[in-house]
Amino acid sequence: MKFSLSWLKQYLETEATVEEIAAKLNAVGIEVEGIEDPTEKLAGFRVARVLTAARHPDADKLQVLTVDTGEGDPLQVVCGAPNARAGLVGVLGLPGATVPANGLVLRKSAIRGVESNGMMCSTRELELGEDHDGIIELPEDAPVGTAFAEYHGADPVIEVAITPNRPDCMGLYGIARDLAAAGLGTLQPIEQLDLPGTFPCPVEVRTDDPEGCPAFYGRVVKGVKNGASPQWLQERLKAAGQRPISALVDATNYMMLAYGRPAHAYDLAKLNGAVVARRAKDGETVLALNEKEYTLDSDMTVIADDAGVHDIAGIMGGEHSGCGDDTTDILLEIAYFDPERIAKTGRKLNLTSDARSRFERGIDPAFLDTGLDHLTQLIQTLCGGEASEVVRAGAAPATPKVVHFDPALTEKLGGVRVDLEEQKRILAALGFSVVTEEAGFDKAWAVTVPGWRPDIDGAPDLVEEVVRIHGLDRVESVALPRAEGVAPPTATPVQKLERRVRRAAAARGLHEAVTWSFLPEAEAEAFAEGNGGLWTLSNPISEDMKVMRPSLLPGLLSAAKRNLDRGASSLRLFELGRRYLRGGGGASDERLSLALVLAGDKVARGWVTGKAQPFDAYDAKAEALALLAEAGAPVDKLQVMPVLSEAEGGEAGSQFHPGQSATLRLGPKNVLARFGMLHPRLAQQFDVEGPVALAEIYLDAIPGKKGATTFARSSYSPPALQAVTRDYAFLVPVDLAAGELVRVVRGADKANIVAARLFDDFRGQGVPEGQKSLALEVTLQPLEKSYRDEDLKAIADKVTAAAAKLGAVLRG
């Protein structure tokens, strides 16, 4: 909100400077965002008199002027204004001045070969109006040589930010009230007018929607003469960022900016029948003043007559009933609208306005008659006319809110001791009525809240009012108690796990993505299998974001598509976050997961590699195992569950290719991860081209060690004796998973075998049909003494016996 200093001083009698006013506004919680000083904007411009005017020798439309600046010899200026003439007193911009309208820095120059020492200015160039047909003409007695800023009047403009809880400060009078309460001047009371009207109102005014519009007042003013507003009014509106339109419209805007009270003026000749506040009909339309048509519904309040809707109540008037230059009779409307209804209507229509911003915050319901009288008087002053009697339909809420306030709370909650009399003075200056039987901190006061403060709900709100006016800078800064020594770490085990896994994923060349926790319903349903249903938001930010994600993979697939569509050749994306499931009985369930998507080329084409190589399921498996190991999972104990037939569906879920996917399990039921290739059906749904490998790791499923919450790493201590390696080659059925053989061999002798890994898979000459040769390197770690031959033989017997259970035979 913006206002000029002179306008503020109409309501606040003060000698304070603009700097002092700005400081006090900040102190009472009204943040000053900027101050525009016209003396800076108009620096370098001077009142000057044209002594002579002669035609330019090389241009028919230019004149060469000699100008008296009040100092030294006259200056020569080339000017193209049609009204430039000898004897004219105007405004000269001297070399070095900056033209406010376009930022042009004036300098001495030659125009068509004639030297010019500045520029005679128009009102538009100095941002004082829209006239650009000629240069400014000042009165004959204007003091030549005076700085134009001083002559015109230096009226600074202050811009403030009003928080949503201060509807009273959406009018300049409310800001003046706060400054007066803070001791910066005396608040001028609002004059109570008596304008009874000279004839009955010829228009029926009523409200058929008492919930949306409890009070609807109106009166007719006949014989008005519309036109341009006087200069003082235009300057005040411009200072507030408003464009002057006409006297009638400007008068209603002035009331809104001055007192925070929106009102509206209708051209009486454009109305038909009674003017009614009612609910809109579904499908009704209105052409608003912004020249846009809006479709209404029955939840919205409108102002209408027998012909149709004229006004979206409390938000914006209609185009066809507005006042123009030929308007002679008007209907003034002032009403109280339900703030919640106004807010809902504005959101539905995506329509904002100055009126909406005030009505939805809450306006003073007691200011209807006073506001209508002041608006009537202003219009009669500007446009003349004769006013009718006031017609009142309904009544605004009139029951005052009373808060029981213990003044001792000011020190208890606010941290500052304020005298009883000072507290009463502050509350009274802000418009509160204070009733107390006895003076003393042990007695509560009955404080009546004024109608313009709907934000006050209880005693803590009154503490805030007292403290901010008394001075927040008077609240002593007290440090919180702090234990000596180094503060203990604050990261939880889960946070440490997230950091470790995130760093590991980035170190492996994966790029982190952060996607929405909300999904379109179709994408969420595609990944909702076995998750107990979806969480649907009752108030989503959009229709495409109304379901909480049951998996992180849909968001990553959408991100992969966007990047592939924009020419990315290789993608390695991961995301660490929560998925949202429906628990038993409909309870919410958040699970920590990590998902990754590999798309595009794994290896780019080249003279060594030949064609580009895509990612496959084994790449997703390798990433999943590596990240599970970093998270502390016992990867050597994990089982790769067998893949079901394509007809039965994939083990990893219907989102994965049934023949190229699997799960990693710790035991038969605990699934730690699933990986594989994206199902072609899902690839088509997400419009992703090319093979896509993906994996999802359930970090919440990783069990903790006994007595711990996770597989936390212990400090490493190297063994005293050197490890021993032995190689074993087995003939196994061709359909046996190599990982299953590794797992069985690893568990054959847990006391001595510390690792087992596959290093060869051979199928060919020398291997019987239907079998394959798998070679494993087994690492043995002696503990207290080195192995003897009989020790190694005993371990080997355990290995072969364990492998035999899977049908494996040691090769000769």
In a domain, 246, yes or no: yes
**Angle, vertex CA 678, rays to CA 625 and CA 551, nearest 5:** 70
Same domain for 279 and 370, yes or no, is: yes
Q: What is the rounded distance in angstroms from the CA atom of residue 711 to the CA atom of residue 637? A: 13
Beta strand ranges found along 705-770 (DSSP E) = 724-733, 753-762
Q: Measured between alpha carbons, how far is 115 from 45 in angstroms, rounded to an integer?
A: 19
> What is the tens place of the pLDDT at every residue in 391-413?
999 998 888 899 999 999 999 99
Which CATH number characterizes residue 179's domain? 3.30.56.10
The alpha helices in 187-288, defined as continuous H runs, are 231-239, 247-259
Looking at the structure, tell me whether residues 452 and 596 fall in a common domain.
no
Contact yes or no for 719/755 (Cβ under 8 A): no
Pair 579, 546 in one domain: yes
461 labelled binding-site residue:
yes
Task: Quick: pLDDT tens for 694-716.
Answer: 999 999 999 876 555 444 455 56
Q: What is the pLDDT of residue 614?
A: 93
Return the residue matching tokens 């105007």: 90
DSSP H or E run through 160: strand 157-161
Tell me the pLDDT band of 652, cut-offs 50, 70 and 90.
confident
Give the residue numbers spanning the domain of 6: 2-37+156-187
Report percent pLDDT > 90 for the chain: 70
Q: Greater confidence, 480 or 780?
A: 780
* pLDDT in the model for residue 695: 95
Residues 213 and 334: their CA atoms lie apart, in Å, by 11
- Whether the pLDDT of residue 587 is over 70: the answer is no
Tokens of 673: 């991860």
Token pair, residue 801, equals 């016996």
User: What confidence tens digit (pLDDT) does each residue in 593-630 have?
Assistant: 999 999 999 988 888 878 889 999 999 999 999 999 99
- Among 371, 394, 417, which residue terminates a domain? 394
> For 424-451, what is each residue's pLDDT tens digit?
999 999 999 999 865 444 568 999 999 9
Identify the H or E element spanning 174: helix 172-181
Q: What is the pLDDT of residues 211-251, one digit of tens each?
A: 999 999 999 999 999 999 998 999 899 889 898 999 999 99
For residues 400 and 450, give the distance between their C-alpha atoms in angstroms, rounded to a whole number: 7
Task: Say if residue 455 carries a ligand binding annotation.
Answer: yes
Reported confidence tier of residue 727, pLDDT bands at 50, 70, 90: very high
Q: Report yes or no: 272 and 266 within 8 Å, Cβ to Cβ.
A: no
Sequence-separated (6 or more) residues with CB below 8 Å from residue 248: 224, 226, 265, 323, 327, 330, 379, 382, 383
Q: Where are the beta strands (DSSP E) in 385-543?
A: 386-387, 391-394, 401-405, 433-435, 445-449, 511-512, 518-519
- pLDDT over 70 percentage in the chain: 95
Q: In what order do the strands lie in the sheet with 433-435?
A: 401-405, 445-449, 433-435
- My answer on whether 238 and 253 are in the same domain is yes
pLDDT computed for residue 588 by the predictor:
62
Task: Give me the CATH number covering residue 76.
Answer: 2.40.50.140
Q: Looking at the domain assignment, is residue 259 inside a domain?
A: yes
**What SS3 class is residue 402?**
strand
| Cα gap 772→750, rounded to integer Å | 26
Residue 706 lies in a domain: no
The answer on pLDDT for 529 being more than 70 is: no
pLDDT tens column, 151-191: 887 789 999 999 999 999 999 999 999 999 999 999 999 99
The Cα 199–Cα 425 span in angstroms is: 44
- Whether residue 546 sits in one domain with residue 456: no
Round the average pLDDT of the chain to a whole number and report it.
90
Structural domain includes residue 168: yes
Question: Which of 643, 668, 701 is the endpoint of a domain?
Answer: 701
Tokens of 280: 């809109």
Sign of the C-alpha dihedral computed for residues 527, 533, 535 and 536 taken in this order: positive
Please indicate, yes or no, whether residues 104 and 141 belong to a single structural domain of this protein: yes
Q: Would 245 be classed as within a structural domain?
A: yes
d(CA 223, CA 228): 16
Q: 213: domain CATH number?
A: 3.50.40.10
In a domain, 199, yes or no: no
- The last residue of one of the domains, among 346, 365, 394, is 394
Are 247 and 354 contained in the same domain? yes
Bridging pattern class, strands 547-548 and 12-13: unpaired
- Would you say 159 is a known binding-site residue? no
194 within domain boundaries: no
User: What residue ranges in 454-582 does DSSP mark as E strands?
Assistant: 511-512, 518-519, 547-548, 570-582
Question: What pLDDT is stored for residue 21 in this prediction?
Answer: 95
Beta bridge partners of 547: 519, 536
Pairing of strands 330-336, 264-267: antiparallel
Q: pLDDT value at position 716?
A: 60
Locus of tokens 């009989």 = 790
Q: Is 545 in the same domain as 418?
A: no
- In angstroms, the CA 756 to CA 777 distance is 6
Let me know: does 327 contact 385? Beta carbons within 8 Å. Answer: no
- Count of structural domains, the chain: 6
Closest by Cα among 265, 351, 364, 372 to 300: 351
pLDDT at 758 over 60: yes
pLDDT at 117: 93
What is the structure's pLDDT at 720? 84
The position carrying tokens 């084409």 is: 605
Of the candidate ranges 13-22, 129-138, 241-250, 460-469, the one whose mean pLDDT is the lowest: 129-138
The amino acid occupying position 286 is V
Q: Check whether residue 77 and residue 148 sit in a common domain.
A: yes
Report whether pLDDT(674) > 50: yes
Residues 552, 628, single domain; the answer is: yes
Buried b or exposed e, range 307-337, using 16+ CB within 10 angstroms: eebbbbbbbbbbeebbbeeebbbbbbbbbbb
Would the annotation count 438 as a binding residue?
no
Q: In CATH, what number is assigned to the domain containing residue 771?
A: 3.30.70.380
Nearest C-alpha neighbor of 781 from the set 718, 705, 729, 711:
718
Same domain flag for 353 and 425: no
pLDDT in tens, 61-120: 899 999 999 888 899 999 999 999 999 999 999 999 999 888 899 999 999 999 999 999
Q: Could you tell me if 519 and 648 lie in one domain?
A: yes
Weakest mean pLDDT among 3-7, 16-20, 181-185, 583-587: 583-587
Instruction: Compute the distance between CA of residue 466 and CA of residue 423 in angstroms, rounded to an integer.
Output: 6
Between CA 159 and CA 241 the distance in angstroms is 10
Is the per-residue pLDDT at 649 higher than 50?
A: no
* Whole-number pLDDT of residue 714: 52
What CATH code is carried by the domain that includes residue 574? 3.30.930.10
What burial letters (b/e) apply to 123-160, b meaning 16+ CB within 10 Å?
Answer: bbbbebeeeeebbbbbeeebebeebbbebbebbbbbbb
Residue 599 lies in a domain: yes
